[in-house]
Amino acid sequence: MSNNLLVTILLSVLVYREATAATNRTFPDYFKFGIATASYQVEGAWNEDGKGENIWDHLCHTNPTFVDNGDNGDIACDSYHKYKEDVALLKDLGVDYYRFSLSWSRIIPLGLAGSPVNQAGIDYYKSLIQELGDNGIEPMVTIFHWDLPETLQEFGGFPNPELEEHFAYYARVVFENLGDSVTYWTTFNEPLQTCHQGYSTGTMAPGYKSSGLAEYKCAHTLIKAHAKAYHIYDEEFRPQQQGYVGIVADTTWFEPASDSDADQEAAERALQFNYGWYINAVVNGNYPAVMIERIDERSKQQGFETSRLPKFTEEEIEYIKGTHDYLAINAYTTVYAQAKEETDPTVVSYESDLNVDTFIDESWEQSASSWLRVVPWGLRNLLNWLSKTYNHPEIFVTENGVSDLGGLDDDRRINFYQEYLSNVLEAILDDGVNVTRYTAWSLMDNFEWARGYTEKFGMYSVNFDNPGRPRTPKASASYYAQVIASRCLVDTCE
């Protein structure tokens, strides 16, 4: 037998063991378990009780080939009408908190600063929060999870700096109306997806392809809008409401393809271009140095008078720095990152600004989502990277989950949660990473953006053919309930 083959076999045995052995230790007392959804993905009632149109309504209605099967979120899981049932499911799971988002155009139909507030929209969220409270479940509220009012898109959306004022107005309205019963706020969910998928790859609404250009302007405004909302909370609401405000960013874990300096740097650069783009800003006040250097330099080579990456003024840096009360991560998967030759310097794109090759190990389990391979150890590495990079903060895992094509006996989902949670626990107990919350995605099957209703992430199945949208627990719902009740991942706990 060749040495290479021997090594491969030994490695696969090790990887296999690592992938299947869940720890029998227990989660600390302070650790909280939750589960998440987002407004457009579950609410439906797209034009009821005064709700305005948003960019996903608009995209689905005007460009039905964008989403698989021409599906849309007009009804989705009908949570607008069925929120009491949703809360009953949450109660069955025994979660400490429910992470959900507000629909901006349900609350402010036109989205514009100074434009009318829709009382029915406010009332819906008050009722949901009340119902959660009555059942002992804490609300964790995301102010924006991708459903921008269409009117604001007509004004240019996020790349237009005015968006900051519109968002500030919206944030003040929600703090004012809902803040008495909310302790944890998130301004934006996954700004990377809003700006990169929305304005660069064009795979999310509004679907523009302006790589290396509009996406940087989008992020610039979004970060300033986040900071403004944070300061509004800090100055006008925190004294009475005593809550916490943060921003939720996501990244794939980029594992260096080798221990060469070049591959290590490539992986670090990819993390900075994905997660650091937003989080270095709210932590340290500016974009990661590697983004500034590379984009400034390439812009110059390309003959731009100023960098394609906009600049924060000194005042803005001071204003943005430290605008987060917790660090959050949405994490699903892993790729290998490898150094590559510098591409043609004339190419204007995010990908060539970043300049990293990625690949996967074909043996990693494939979920129903093309982008999502099951790589539990990647989450542990990512949590360690976050802790080290941002000076050992408190960390919330705000999304983690896996897709399949349906069915109630979702053993693969159970394995996913068992193995990923095992890595979270090892990060806490063995590596000293201060993770205090874990949020599963998602409570129920829902509108999975461009994939419509085909890819299912829920612990409850929803029958989308039945107008009543009945929910049925999957096996993973009982597993998660058991984990929460026992604070342990296996049957025989320590």
By CB under 6 A, name the one of 103, 187, 189, 387 that touches ligand GBH: 189
Q: Tell me the closest approach of the beta carbon of residue 400 to ligand GBH, in angstroms.
A: 9
Both structure tokens of 160: 């237009």
Residue 14: other Cβ atoms inside 10 A:
10
Question: Amino acid identity, residue 114?
Answer: G
Q: Which of 190, 215, 255, 410 binds ligand GBH (CB under 6 A)?
A: 190
Given the complex with ligand GBH, which of 210 and 241 has the nearer CB atom? 210
**Residue 277 CB, nearest approach to ligand GBH (Å):** 14
Instruction: Please say whether the beta carbons of 459 and 59 come within 8 A.
Output: no
What's the token pair of residue 174?
Answer: 């929600």
Answer for which of 187, 197, 299, 423 binds ligand GBH (CB under 6 A) is 197
The residue among 147 and 426 lying less far from ligand GBH, judged by its C-beta, is: 147
Q: Which range touches ligand GBH (CB under 6 A), out of 189-197, 205-213, 309-317, 381-389?
A: 189-197
Determine contact, residues 410/476, Cβ cutoff 8 Å: yes
Torsion of Cα atoms, 130 then 132 then 137 then 139, to 10°: -80
Q: From 414, 413, 431, 338, select the one nearest 377 (Cα to Cα).
A: 431
Nearest distance in Å: CB 318, ligand GBH: 30
Cβ–Cβ < 8 Å for 23, 419? no
User: Phi and psi (nearest 5°) for 325?
Assistant: -100, -10
Q: How many CB atoms lie within 10 A of CB 449?
A: 22
Q: Which residue has the tokens 């989502």?
A: 369
Q: Which of residues 431-450 bind ligand GBH (CB under 6 A)?
A: 441, 448
Query: Is 399 assigned a catalytic role?
Result: yes
The contacts of residue 476 (CB under 8 Å, 6+ apart) are: 410, 413, 414, 417, 459
Surface-to-core class of residue 226, CB atoms within 10 Å of its CB (0-12 exposed, 13-18 middle, 19+ buried): buried
The CB-of-441 to ligand GBH minimum distance in angstroms stands at: 5
Nearer to ligand GBH, 276 or 285 (CB): 276
Q: Which two tokens stand for residue 331?
A: 């994490």
Binding residue (CB under 6 A) for ligand GBH from 193, 194, 323, 338: 193
Minimal CA–CA distance to 204: which of 143, 153, 134? Answer: 153
- Report if residue 203 touches ligand GBH, rule: CB under 6 A: yes
Region 55-74 residues binding ligand GBH, contact defined as CB under 6 A: none
Active-site annotation holder among 164, 399, 419, 426: 399
* Number of chain residues interacting with ligand GBH (CB under 6 A): 16
For tokens 């899981």, the residue is: 77
Binding mask 249-288 for ligand GBH (x = CB under 6 A): -x--------------------------------------
Stretch that binds ligand GBH, among 84-92, 185-193, 304-312, 349-357 (CB under 6 A): 185-193
Among residues 332, 364, 377, 416, which is the contact residue for ligand GBH, using CB under 6 A?
A: 332
Q: Does 43 bind ligand GBH (CB under 6 A)?
A: no
**Helix ranges, 303-458 (H):** 314-320, 350-354, 376-389, 411-429
* Burial annotation 342-361 (CB, 10 A radius, 16+ → b, else e): eeeeeebbbebbbbbebeee
| In the complex, minimum distance from the CB of residue 205 to ligand GBH, in angstroms, rounded to a whole number | 12
Mutual angle of helices 214-232 and 277-284, in 10-degree steps: 40
The identity of residue 338, as a single letter, is Q
| Contact status: 86 vs ligand GBH (CB under 6 A) | no
Window contacting ligand GBH (CB under 6 A); options: 52-60, 155-163, 188-196, 306-314: 188-196
In the complex, least distance from residue 371 CB atom to ligand GBH, rounded to whole angstroms: 4
Quick check: 151 binds ligand GBH (CB under 6 A)?
Answer: no
Nearer to ligand GBH, 149 or 458 (CB): 458
CB of 373 to ligand GBH, least distance (A): 12
Considering only 13, 371, 409, 485, the residue that binds ligand GBH (CB under 6 A) is 371
Spatial separation of the C-alpha atoms in residues 461 and 463, rounded to whole Å: 7
Taking the CA atoms of 61, 66, 67 and 68 in sequence, report the sign of the dihedral they define: positive
Q: How far is the CB of 103 from ligand GBH (least distance, A)?
A: 14
Catalytic positions: 399
**Which positions touch ligand GBH (CB under 6 A)?**
38, 41, 189-190, 193, 197, 203, 250, 330, 332, 370-371, 399, 441, 448, 457
